[in-house]
Amino acid sequence: MARVLIIGALDAELGQAARIATARGARLTQADGVASGLARMRADGADLVLCDVSYDIGWLVEQLAAERIACPVIACGRNPDPAAVVRAIRAGAKEFLPLPPDADLIAAMLTAAAGDAEAPVTRDAAMVALLARATQLATAQASVLITGESGTGKEVLARHIHRSSRRSGGPFVALNCAALPEALLESELFGHEKGAFSGAVAARRGKFEQADGGTLLLDEIGEMDLRLQAKILRVIQEREVDRLGGGAPTKVDVRLLAATNRDLAAEVQAGRFRADLYFRLNVVALHIPPLRERPLDISALAAHFADRFAEANGLPRRAVTPAAEALLLAHPWPGNVRELENALHRAVLLARGGSIGPEAIELARLPPPPPEAASAAAPAPAAIPAPPARSVSGLVGRKVEEVERDLILETLTHCLGNRTRAAEILGISIRTLRNKLHEYRAQGMPVPAVHAAGYPGTSWPAEA
């Protein structure tokens, strides 16, 4: 259930957008201006903001960034001044929603903001058993650790647990721990008091407080810094949270779910994850198998996505032909369900005629392993040579940050965009690498895209 804040009057087309969002299951709050909207964000948070383009969206985006509040802002308006729309987008609005609103467009925005709120789709016996186990555990209060490769649907399973629990009437709040810098992640989790840091002009509730009475999902928790892990452990043990700059703790009633694509037991052994937090989270573990091990789910999900994207794009529903299904079943799906979803979205748009045939299926082609690796009894991933070193004389006169930037970008290019492998070569965390790439993009520098096929001769996916 997405939490939507609408900034503007609800007596016209924006009110129509509000009614559509409510009908689609959104939890709605409203503010009469950007200042009061910011106050609502501090108190209650939101997954999405719909703001009338006549307001100062640039100021709102700047304040959200200064106060470390991560939330997309959508500008809305009826026959607005094109210059105002351009200003809103340049100021940081994620996109523009024309009024009167289109119901399907709002539905797509809500889905993107809140994740896939649909029930899991499965025919595979192992997945059916997993869902039954998840439903049984949902009525308990214990923490659940959800594991699986990237793109297998860990958040979908977490939402299923929430909907099946006694907390289903409360909020479901999800936070991707790998998507935010450490300082921003800390503020997002625990909130802050006025004056806690530069830009903290008012108190703000964090995700733990926003999820009070409901469920909090910490996605990619294996990427979290050890210092924050200690603070998470204290919240679990004491059931109270300390805001940044706060003097007194605040009691919270939250059911905690955690998800990761890492082997946390191995991370504990390597000293990168706290053992006490691991045992607190791992009261019950649910492992989602990769899609390549669930052929029945490939067919079921393909039909599901074909219907969904046909409806979203105003196209007639068309079945996937047996020839097209054979292509899907033969693919290894390194990106799992997320990759299949994208493939079917393309297929719906590209298909001609009354069905979706093989000509509409575009899949990333993975290169075959080298002959020597294929013949080896226990082949190891092919070693990637380090990028060529520069001579010291070629570095004299250059700033350290320039040399660091070039090294990171060249290593990333060498790894065909594979962030995980580039971080390993550079000897830095994946979080540090992502933060650096975010800085380079903000400076207008091109960043190598992820190569769809991963690195030739290895078993690593394009993006782990």
Print pLDDT tens along the chain (464 aa).
Answer: 678 899 988 877 888 888 888 887 778 889 999 999 999 888 888 888 999 888 999 899 888 888 778 788 998 887 766 777 788 888 888 888 888 877 777 776 776 665 544 678 899 999 999 999 999 999 888 999 999 999 999 999 999 999 899 998 888 999 999 878 877 888 889 888 887 777 777 788 889 999 999 999 999 999 999 999 999 999 999 999 988 888 788 999 999 999 999 999 999 999 999 999 999 999 999 999 999 999 999 999 999 999 988 988 888 999 999 999 999 999 999 999 999 999 999 999 999 989 999 999 998 765 554 444 444 434 444 444 444 444 444 555 567 777 788 888 888 877 777 787 777 778 788 888 888 888 888 777 788 776 544 433 333 333 43
Q: How far apart are CA 450 and CA 157, in angstroms?
A: 26
CATH fold of 291-360 reads Helicase, Ruva Protein; domain 3 (1.10.8)
CATH fold of 3-114 reads Rossmann fold (3.40.50)
Q: CA-CA-CA-CA torsion for 200, 202, 208, 209, nearest 10 degrees?
A: 180
Is it true that 3-114 and 125-287 share their CATH fold?
A: yes
Assess contact for 417 and 377: CB atoms under 8 A.
no
Q: Mind listing the pLDDT tens digit for each residue in 270-307?
A: 999 999 999 999 999 999 999 999 999 999 999 999 99
CA angle 228, 173, 258 (to 5 degrees): 50
Reference 53, options 89, 105, 106, 100; nearest CA is 89
Q: Mind listing the pLDDT tens digit for each residue in 407-443?
A: 888 888 777 777 877 777 787 888 888 888 888 887 7
Radius of gyration of the chain (CA): 24
Return the H-helix or E-strand segment holding 38. helix 34-44
Tokens standing for 435? 């933060």
CA 152 to each of CA 71, 116, 166, 291, 336: distance values in angstroms, whole numbers, following the listed order: 25, 12, 25, 7, 5
pTM surpassing 0.95? no
For domain 125-287, the question of CATH label 3.40.605.10 is answered with: no
Query: What is the CATH code for 390-464?
Result: 1.10.10.60
Q: How far apart are CA 90 and CA 446, in angstroms?
A: 19
pLDDT of 65: 82
pLDDT of 392: 41
Residue 459: phi and psi, rounded to 5, are: -105, 10
Extents of the domains making up the chain: 3-114, 125-287, 291-360, 390-464
